[in-house]
Amino acid sequence: MKYVPKKSYMQVFKNNCSYNSYGIVLADISNSNINDNFCFDNHKGIYTISSECINILRNNCTKSTRYGIELRE
């Protein structure tokens, strides 16, 4: 289950990760230290939000839909 930040929270991730249409978080290598706090590498070059981060984001996010990412207003 993927979560993505709402618009007001996106700033935290803006320079750290980017999101594709499947709700997968792609790391920005230049900010890998920051990414370590938010994402984990699944060893396929793709970063996803860690379970610890889910707790932080739970009130700031909405689940991604089958059609892509849906940000809470």
Per-residue model confidence as pLDDT tens digits over 4-14: 544 544 444 44
Q: Would residue 23 count as lying in a domain?
A: yes
Q: Would residue 48 count as lying in a domain?
A: yes
Q: Would residue 9 count as lying in a domain?
A: yes
Q: Would residue 50 count as lying in a domain?
A: yes
Q: Would residue 72 count as lying in a domain?
A: no
Residue ranges of E strands in 28-69: 39-41, 47-49, 61-63
Q: Would residue 70 count as lying in a domain?
A: no
Phi, psi of 20 (to 5 degrees): -95, 180
Q: Would residue 68 count as lying in a domain?
A: no
Count of domains for the chain: 1
Query: Which range, of 17-26, 35-44, 62-71, averages the lowest pLDDT?
Result: 62-71
**Domain that includes residue 34, residue range:** 3-63
SS3 9: helix
Query: Using 50, 70 and 90 to split pLDDT, how confident is the model at 31?
Result: very low
Q: Would residue 71 count as lying in a domain?
A: no
